[in-house]
Amino acid sequence: MFNKINAIFSDKTIRNRILFVLAILVIFRALSAIPVPGVNVQAIKALVDGNSFFQVLNLFSGGGLSALSILMLGVGPYITASIIIQLLTMVFPAMKELQQEEGAAGRKKLSQYSRLLAVPIGFIQTFGIITLITRQSPEVFGGLTTFGFVQVAIIVVAASILLMWIGERLTEFGIGNGISLIITIGIIAALPQSLSRILSTYDASQLPLFIGIGILSVAIISLIVYITEAERPIEINYARQARSLATQGAGGSHKTYLPIKLNQAGVMPIIFAITLLMFPSFLGNILTLASNPILQSIGRFLTIWSQNPLTYGIVYFILVFLFTYFYTAVTFDPKQMSENLQKQGAFVSGIRPGDSTMDYLSRIVTRTTFIGATFLACIAVLPNVVQSFTNIATVSIGGTGLLIVISTLIDVVKKVNAQISMREY
């Protein structure tokens, strides 16, 4: 361990990457503390603390909504735009070709589409959130004029675009996924306040309950780490002609292994599912404020649905499960992997190259993803189950946050180890 720490600080490239991440995250937290013009900070804090929808939204804004800062949207518009673009790649062949056939250039173009789409989505989300806030708590803005509304919207959307750009720079010049790091640092920054709310409900009679939650949390952390690291190795042989005779010897072949992770999608299915689940609640809260009785009824239905723990938990489970398969299909293409192996003169032991290898890899990935998707969905809804028995409202958000934080930190540690290994060789 100490050798790795020494390697990190002694290597200029790794050290600079880590320092870049820390510097950017400090800037991010500083921007999160800047409120939009004319806001009553105490009033918005009271509103967020008493509204579960705003609490979830605050999670993805990196804590920016609780102070109604210029970063109150966080990376939400970009995540929503990314979901829409990735769904469109499954519908339109031309976009699917961009993703799979054109390689890095195609993916870069899709990322550009996501950035452009994030702008109108940002304005829509800003309009909805400010409208909802001013209707539920007028003292937050104290009478917002049309000009003031437009001014706030432009500032907030511009800040969200800046945060999106910061996330991409973190991915490019830092270590780990920039968007995940931004969400993670926001969750960690909110931990003291969340723990304070939990402890405020504590009394001596609840000691066994809190001990049980602590043990369960440790078990969940261990399971998340185990599943994240679990792999299904597939034996790969390289023909003698593809390797130097000096390293292969006379006859025989060179063997290696292709690791197939149980959860290749990481934490993205959780982020996608929560983003999608926020929409009915978001729309319902706005429609309940409408003057039309029919719209009010639809709004009440959506609000009640999103607040029902059973239906919300079931839909949440299904979405996480499906998004795990969806994101795995986006990140791992058995056909492309089969073609790459064939080009390298490699083959799976006992499997013919070409279509047979593609079918074999598809079966393996489908089975491993089923295990990973089931586990991820269970972990996602488990805090809701605990909340229903303990009545601790912050457990649900804390559980989701725990999953995001652990997955992101594991990814960062692995990338640091990879950087160290590259420099050792």
Cross-strand pairs, 234: 258
- Asked whether residue 250 carries a pLDDT value surpassing 70, the answer given is no
CB 172, CB 368: distance < 8 Å: no
Q: What are phi and psi of 331, to 5 degrees?
A: -90, -20
* Lookup: tokens for 45: 């804090």
pLDDT in tens, 134-149: 777 777 777 777 888 8
The answer to whether 327 and 271 are in contact (CB under 8 A) is: no
Provide mean pLDDT across the span 395-412.
Answer: 72
Residue 260 or 244, more confident: 260
Check residue 51 and give its pLDDT. 64
Tell me the pLDDT band of 120, cut-offs 50, 70 and 90.
very high
Nearest to 341 by CA among 327, 326, 360: 360
Band the pLDDT of 382: cuts 50, 70, 90: confident
Domains with residue ranges and CATH for the chain: 1-201 (1.10.3370.10)
Identify the pLDDT of residue 241: 47
Query: Residue 181: what pLDDT?
Result: 87
Does the pTM of the predicted model rise above 0.85? no
pLDDT at 162: 92
Q: Quote the pLDDT of residue 161.
A: 92
* Amino acid at residue number 52: S
Helix axes of 355-390 and 394-424: crossing angle, nearest 10 degrees: 140
Residue listed under structure tokens 């999103």: 306
| Per-residue confidence (pLDDT) for residue 232, from 0 to 100 | 87
CA distance 376 to 269: 8
| Percentage of residues of the chain with pLDDT beyond 90 | 8
pLDDT tens readout for residues 198-209: 677 667 777 787
Report the candidate in 95, 81, 99, 41 with the shortest Cα–Cα distance to residue 65: 41
Alpha helices in 137-251 (DSSP H): 146-173, 178-200, 207-229, 245-248
332 alpha-carbon distance from chain centroid? 18
> How many whole angstroms from its chain centre is CA 324?
12
What tokens were used for 335? Answer: 């056909």
pLDDT digits (tens, 9 = 90+) for 88-111: 887 788 877 777 666 677 778 888
Per-residue tokens: 243: 């390797």
Model pLDDT, residue 116: 92
Q: Where residue 307 falls among pLDDT bands split at 50, 70, 90?
A: low
Given a contact cutoff of 8 angstroms between Cβ atoms, the answer to whether 54 and 64 are in contact is: no
Looking up tokens 């006379």, which residue turns up?
A: 250
Alpha-carbon span 185 to 212, nearest angstrom: 27
pLDDT attached to residue 424: 61
Burial class (CB in 10 A: 0-12, 13-18, 19+), 424: exposed
> What confidence score (pLDDT) does residue 255 get?
64
Span 238-244, average pLDDT: 56
Model confidence at 253: pLDDT above 60: no
328-372 pLDDT per residue, tens: 887 788 888 888 888 888 888 888 888 888 898 899 999 999 998
Run of H or E residues at 73? none
192 pLDDT exceeds 80? Answer: no
Residues of the chain with pLDDT > 70: what percent? Answer: 84
Segment holding 297, helix H or strand E: helix 293-307
Instruction: Tell me which residue has tokens 């702008």.
Output: 119
Q: Bridge-partner residues for 233, per DSSP? A: 259
15, two tokens: 């050290």
Rounded CA separation 420/408 (Å): 19
Q: Which two tokens stand for residue 422?
A: 């590259």
- Measuring CA to CA, how many Å separate 273 from each of 80, 133, 261, 315, 341? 10, 24, 21, 9, 34
How far, in whole angstroms, is CA 34 from its chain's centroid? 24
Q: What is the pLDDT of residue 53?
A: 65
Q: What is the mean pLDDT of the chain?
A: 79
Q: Mind giving me the DSSP string for 388-414? A: HHH--THHHHHHHHHHHHHHHHHHHHH
